[in-house]
Amino acid sequence: MSDMPLHEAIHTQRAIRQFTEEPVPEEDVQALLDAAVCAPSGGNRQPWHFVVLRDPGLKAKVRELYHRSWNAYKEKVAEMAQTRAEAAATLERWRKNPAGDHFAANLDKVPVFIIPCLDMRALSFGDDPESPSVMTSNSVYASIYPAVQNILLTARARGLGAVLTTLHCRYEDEVKRILGVPAHIRTTCLIPVGHPRAKYGRTRRVPAADRTHKDGWNLSLAASYEPGRGILRVGDRMTKNPVTCSSETLVYDAQAMMREGHFGRLPVVEEGRLVGVVTDRDIRTALLPPEVPKGLKDRFDLLLVRRVKDIMTKSPITVGPDASIEQAADILKSNKVGALPVVEGGWLVGIITRGDVLGGFLDAVGKRRGALRFSLKTSRKPGEGGIVALLRLLEEEGAEVLSVVSDPDSSDPVNYVHYTVRVARGDPKKLIPLLEGKGIPRPEILQEEAGKG
C-alpha cells in the first residue's frame, strides 16, 4: 500500500477513538514499529520496548483499569466544575459528545494495543535507574515520545486510526503486573490501533504564529492565551466531530440517524469535506409529492429509494471556527436556521446550534457561576457614570466580577445607559450601605436562586 505524503499525514493525524472491527494485519503493526525505532533518543540509547496486545483477555483487563481511571478523571473534573469555568465547559462538551465514555467502555474491542515502554536502565549508565544521573527528567520522556509520534503518523499514512492515551498510568503498577513488565520499565502510553469508523478532518490547532516568540519571550502574546480566552469563539462552543452522512446515504437511514441522535439535521460530507446539509424538514417535504410515484406502494417507500443527495441543501450557510459566537448568533437569526456547520478550508470541523450559542452567552455573562446581579442606570458622560466606582467597590469587598453588560436606556439612549454587573461572591446587605456611602447611585439588585439554570 502506498503511504500518503508526510505533510498530509501530519495535518490530518487525529485522535481516533471509534474503530471498526476490521483486523489490523501484522504487516501494518510491523510498519508502525519499524517507524518507531527510527526516532531520536537521548544519547541514541534507544531505550524503547513495545508491548503489542491482541489477546482479548489481556486487552479486557487493561481496559478495565483504563475505564476506572477515566471515571476517576471525570469525577475530578466534575468536582472542579463547581468553581472553574474551564472544567464546567469540559463537562458540557463530554455531555454533548460522550465519545470518551464509549471509548473507555469499549477499548478492548480495538484490534491492537501498542504500549511503548521506556527502559530506565538503558538511560541510566548503570547508576540509579529511577533517576539516571546523566539525563535530566525532560530527556527521559523525550526519549520515547518521538517514537510514539512516528507510530501515530505512520498509522495515519497507512489509513489506520490511533490515539495516544495515558490514563492507564494511574494504575501503571497493576498494568505492569498483568503484562509481566519488570520494575525498571515504564509503560509510557497506550496506543489503540484499528481502522477508523468515520472520516476525520484536519487537525485544528492555535496557529503557530500565535505561539511564536521572536528574539525572546513576548509577554503580550502569552497573555492573549490565558485560559478562558476562547469562550466566545465558535470553535470552543461547537460540537466537534459531529455525526454526518454521505450524499449516497438513503433518506431512510438519514432519518434513523437523526432520530437516534435527537438531531434535527445532518451535515453531508464527502472525504471530510462538507457538500450539503439535510434536515428533518427536508425529509418531511420529500414525503409530500403531489402523487405517489409509479411503482411505489405509498409515500413512505420514498424513504427507501431516495438518497440524501436528492433532497439536501447543496450550499448550506456555514461559519468558521474562529468566528465569534455573536457572529454565529447573527447568522443563525438572520437566516432562521437552527444550526450551522463549522467549516475550515472546506473541511467540516464541527457543528454549532442555537443552544450552543446560548450556552456561550450564559457562560460569558457568568450565569452559571454567579447568582447576584447589579443593574445600574448611569449617565453616559465621562466621570458621571458610577460604574467604575461600583466595580472598584465590588472588587475591594472581594466580590468577583464575572461580567459587565451595557444596554442603552430605552427612553434616553443618548444620555443614559444601564450596566448589569454579575458577581460570583458578595453580600448585597453589606454592599448597599457601602455604595450609598460613596455616593454611587443605588443599583437594582437581583439575587437569583444559586445553582438554578
Ligand X SMILES: Cc1cc2nc3c(=O)[nH]c(=O)nc-3n(C[C@H](O)[C@H](O)[C@H](O)COP(=O)(O)O)c2cc1C
Q: Which stretch binds ligand X (CB under 6 A): 10-18, 51-59, 275-283, 319-327?
A: 10-18
Choice between 131 and 203, CB closer to ligand X: 203
Instruction: Tell me whether residue 163 or residue 435 sits nearer to ligand X (CB atom).
Output: 163
Window 16-55: contact mask with ligand X (x via CB under 6 A): -x--------------------------------------
- Among positions 82, 166, 218, 224, the unique one binding ligand X when judged by CB under 6 A: 166
Residue number with CB closer to ligand X (164 or 364): 164
Q: Residue 182 Cβ, how far from ligand X at the closest point, in Å?
A: 23
3-state secondary structure of 48: strand
Toward ligand X, which CB reaches closer, 94 or 416? Answer: 94
SS3 (DSSP) at 235 = helix
From residue 154, alpha-carbon distances to 142, 161, 204, 242, 266 in Å are 19, 10, 20, 25, 31
Q: Among 319, 358, 321, which residue's Cα sits nearest to residue 340? A: 319
Q: What is the DSSP string of 271-317?
A: TTEEEEEEEHHHHHHHT--SSPPTT-SSGGGHHHH-BHHHHSBSS--
Comparing CB distances to ligand X, the nearer of 103 and 171 is 103
Stretch that binds ligand X, among 165-173, 280-288, 333-341, 425-433 (CB under 6 A): 165-173
Q: How far is the CB of 275 from ligand X (least distance, A)?
A: 22
Of the candidates 69, 48, 44, the one whose C-alpha atom is nearest the C-alpha of residue 145 is 48
Query: Count of residues binding ligand X (CB under 6 A)?
Result: 10
Contacts of residue 169, defined as CB under 8 A and 6 or more positions apart, other chains included, come to 69, 187, 188, 189
Q: Which residue has the cell 409529492?
A: 289
**CB-count exposure of residue 291 (10 Å: 0-12, 13-18, 19+):** exposed
Choices 1-9, 57-65, 164-172, 439-447; region in contact with ligand X by CB under 6 A: 164-172
The residue behind cell 450552543 is: 356
Q: How far is the CB of 105 from ligand X (least distance, A)?
A: 12
Q: Could you tell me the smallest distance in angstroms from the CB atom of residue 296 to ligand X?
A: 43
The span from the CA of 23 to the CA of 194, in Å, is 7
DSSP 92: H
Give me the least distance between CB of 303 and ligand X, in Å please: 34
- The Cα 108–Cα 379 span in angstroms is 65
Smallest separation (angstroms) from ligand X to the CB of 73: 8
- Tell me: does residue 164 bind ligand X (CB under 6 A): yes
Q: How far is the CB of 158 from ligand X (least distance, A)?
A: 17
14 binds ligand X (CB under 6 A): yes
Question: 330 Cβ partners below 8 Å, 6+ apart?
Answer: none
The residue among 273, 93, 153 whose CA lies nearest residue 201 is: 273
Distance, CA of 81 to CA of 226 (rounded, Å): 18
User: Contact with ligand X (CB under 6 A): which of 167, 232, 371, 431?
Assistant: 167
Q: How far is the CB of 149 from ligand X (least distance, A)?
A: 9
Selected binder of ligand X within 10, 15, 80, 329 (CB under 6 A): 15
Instruction: Please report whether residue 203 would count as binding ligand X according to CB under 6 A.
Output: yes
- For residues 124-163, which are near ligand X according to CB under 6 A? 163
Sign of CA dihedral 225, 229, 232, 237: positive
- Output the smallest distance, CB 326 to ligand X, in A: 25
| Nearer of residues 201 and 267 to ligand X, judged by Cβ | 201
71 is an interface residue for ligand X by CB under 6 A: no
Contact call for residue 191 and ligand X (CB under 6 A)? no
Please state the closest distance from residue 168 (CB atom) to ligand X, in A. Answer: 8
Touching ligand X, residues 307-366 (CB under 6 A): none
Residue nearer to ligand X on the CB measure, 45 or 168: 168
Element (H, E) at 356: helix 354-365
Q: How many residues does the chain have?
A: 453
Interface residues with ligand X (CB under 6 A)? Answer: 14-15, 17, 103, 163-167, 203
